[in-house]
């Protein structure tokens, strides 16, 4: 695993693009998250790792507005949005993907990105797309350029007019990520984006994320079981276990944390096998 920003701690004074403070979520008698705090600075990648059932997807649900916490607050671009619905958070610059791609089987790849772009920049046209039909003709140049550039960035331009139904999981994930980026978000929450991708696709996506941070100043909160990639591509990492934060810091600090080794990385044996990764 090669590092890009691994030894540089995130600036504490910088206002985060999204943050959760003291988040607690209970489902019946089960506490899924307990007093969890996390922040993602502008133009950065923050990794979120932990064992299955640690609460990672629940935390993304809280940040995106799909889950209401019993305690704690959520901030987006400096404004509290704890009670703000998901669609309004999207208009304010939040986008996300899911563990299982949420795509519309009857639509092409280009149509997925076009709908996302119009939902942010031309909502009246989105209405005509679905109700009156025929609005796909003669799109504005800005829309076309954005959609084309994103398909090229994700390596799916050859699928522009292909229906997503029956598409391999790896390609479906790339379509979902491109759609998440089509509305020019300030922060994207990525839930297992590398799952189902082969080694070449994973590396291409990791490079694309790094490039987008540089060129578009977008931030990413990255969850994935590919720990090497998360650590290599993140400036800061948060580790959850049983719904609580057990470590946070640079990838090197997290990698060397005994609590992380014991709870998530499998102890000294796993870490020893990666001792040259950082």
Instruction: For 134-146, write each residue's pLDDT tens digit.
Output: 545 556 788 889 9
Burial class (CB in 10 A: 0-12, 13-18, 19+), 256: middle
Segment 212-229 shows an average pLDDT of: 92
- Taking 70 as the threshold, does the pLDDT of residue 44 lie above it? yes
Task: For residues 92 and 243, give the distance between their C-alpha atoms in angstroms, rounded to a whole number.
Answer: 28
Burial class (CB in 10 A: 0-12, 13-18, 19+), 142: exposed
- Mean pLDDT to the nearest integer, 225-240: 92
CA 264, 21, 248, 190 torsion: positive or negative?
A: positive
Q: What was the pLDDT predicted at 270?
A: 39
**Helical spans, DSSP H, in the chain:** 56-64, 86-91, 109-121, 123-131, 141-154, 169-182, 199-216, 227-233, 251-255, 258-260, 268-272
User: Who wins on pLDDT, 278 or 254?
Assistant: 254
On the question of pLDDT at 16 being above 50, the answer is: yes
How far is it, in rounded angstroms, from Cα 22 to Cα 34?
8
**pLDDT value for 128:** 55
Contacts of 1 (CB under 8 A, 6+ apart): 228, 229, 231, 232, 274, 277, 278
Going along the chain from its start, the domains and CATH numbers come out as: 16-272 (3.40.50.300)
Q: pLDDT per residue over 45-78, tens digit each? A: 999 999 888 999 999 999 999 999 999 999 999 9
> What is the value of pTM for the model shown?
0.83
| pLDDT, tens digit, 9 for 90 and up, residues 177-212 | 999 999 889 999 999 999 888 888 888 889 989 988
Q: pLDDT digits over 78-96, tens only? A: 999 999 999 999 989 999 9
Residue 115: pLDDT band (50, 70, 90) is confident
pLDDT of residue 1: 42
Categorize the per-residue pLDDT at 7 as very low, low, confident or very high, splitting at 50, 70 and 90. very low
Read off the tokens for 109: 């790849």
- Positive or negative: CA dihedral 207, 212, 214, 217: negative
Supply the pLDDT for residue 32.
Answer: 97
What pLDDT, on a 0 to 100 scale, did the predictor assign at position 216?
A: 85
Res 137: pLDDT? 53
């Amino acid at each position: 695993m090669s590092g890009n920003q691994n030894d540089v701690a995130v600036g504490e004074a910088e206002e985060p693009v999204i943050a959760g403070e003291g988040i607690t979520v209970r489902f019946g008698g089960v506490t899924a998250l307990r007093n969890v705090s996390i922040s993602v600075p502008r133009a950065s990648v923050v990794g979120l790792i932990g064992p299955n059932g640690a609460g990672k997807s629940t935390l993304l649900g809280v940040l995106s507005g799909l889950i209401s916490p019993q305690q704690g607050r959520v901030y987006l671009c400096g404004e509290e949005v704890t009670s703000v619905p998901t669609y309004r958070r999207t208009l304010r610059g939040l986008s996300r993907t899911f563990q299982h791609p949420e795509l519309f089987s009857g639509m092409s790849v280009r149509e997925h990105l076009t709908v996302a772009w119009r939902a942010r920049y031309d909502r009246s046209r989105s209405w005509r797309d679905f109700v009156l039909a025929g609005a796909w003709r003669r799109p504005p140049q800005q829309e076309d350029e954005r959609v084309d550039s994103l398909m090229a960035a994700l390596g799916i331009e050859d699928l522009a007019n292909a229906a997503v139904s029956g598409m391999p999981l790896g390609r479906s994930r790339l379509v979902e990520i491109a759609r998440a980026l089509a509305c020019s978000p300030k922060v994207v929450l990525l839930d297992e984006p590398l799952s189902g991708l082969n080694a070449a696709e994973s590396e291409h996506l990791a490079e694309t994320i790094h490039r987008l941070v540089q060129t578009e100043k977008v931030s990413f909160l990255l969850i994935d079981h590919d720990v090497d990639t998360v650590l290599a591509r993140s400036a800061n990492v948060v580790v959850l276990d049983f719904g609580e934060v057990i470590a946070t810091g640079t990838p090197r600090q997290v990698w060397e944390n005994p609590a992380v080794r014991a709870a998530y990385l499998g102890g000294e044996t796993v870490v020893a096998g990666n001792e040259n990764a950082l």
